[in-house]
Homo-oligomer: A and B are copies of this chain.
Amino acid sequence: MNQNTITSISERQTLSDQVFHDLKEAIIKGDLAQGSKITEDEIAKQYGISRGPLREAIRRLEGLRLLVRKPHAGTRVVTLTHSMMEEIYTVREALEGMSARLAATRMSDDDIGELHQLLKKHESTIDQSQGKEYFQREGDLDFHFRIAQASNNQWLMDLLSSELYQLLRMCRHRSSQTPERPLRALQEHKQITEAIAQRDPELAELLMRRHISGAWKIVKDILDNESIEKDTQP
């Protein structure tokens, strides 16, 4: 977690920008645990900067809902509760549904071609790395990111990629823990891509929404089981 990890390229426009990006990654990767306190002095020393720029970064992360601040009391890393995850998936369903709808009209033929190629790559990845959940997760987000881009709506893209997706990445519980899931997801991705290729906005939106609400049901089950384990084990 030292400042010398992969932080490196951190566009060094300003210290505030740097520490903003670095902290963001640290939170998403879990280097800063959920619910843990952000002690300004401590973090500032860690990054070798003063508290001024750090506080500005904190305020921006607060805006992204990655940090929660209580005036005078302190700032903590957000805790992803069960109900919060449900809320996020609900918002995501609405936004990505719209995203897919727009993509069906606006995505270029070339980009649709690339989408097909991406799916092929995913297919072979699933065959090989049965257990490597990480790549599957990133691949999944990659697919969704491209559709968000194709919506050609800056707001949609921003909300999804710089807010919701980050929070999803924070949630370590992979929906791919069940071995059938990746294949199922791939099938659904194919269907969505097909609807876009056929320029059918209604269908694209319908399938995307079904895809996401389905994903939530899986995640929800996993979370439920975990909380039961936690209640009975310790």
Contact = CB atoms under 8 A, between A and B. Distances in A.
A145 to B, nearest CB: 17
Given A94-B97, A98-B90, A71 B156 contact: no
A83 to B, nearest CB: 9
Contact of A17 (B17, B56, B71): B71
A25 interface: no
Interface residues of A, number: 30
Tell me the interface secondary structure of chain A in the complex. Answer: helix
Contacts of A43: none
A94 B87 contact: no
A198 to B, nearest CB: 22
B98 A91 contact: yes
Complex A-B, nearest 9 residue pairs according to Cβ-Cβ distance, in ascending order: A63-B63, A94-B98, A13-B71, A59-B59, A94-B94, A87-B155, A87-B153, A56-B59, A91-B155
Interface of A: 13-14, 16-17, 52, 55-56, 59-60, 62-64, 71-72, 84, 87-88, 90-91, 93-95, 97-98, 102, 153-156, 159
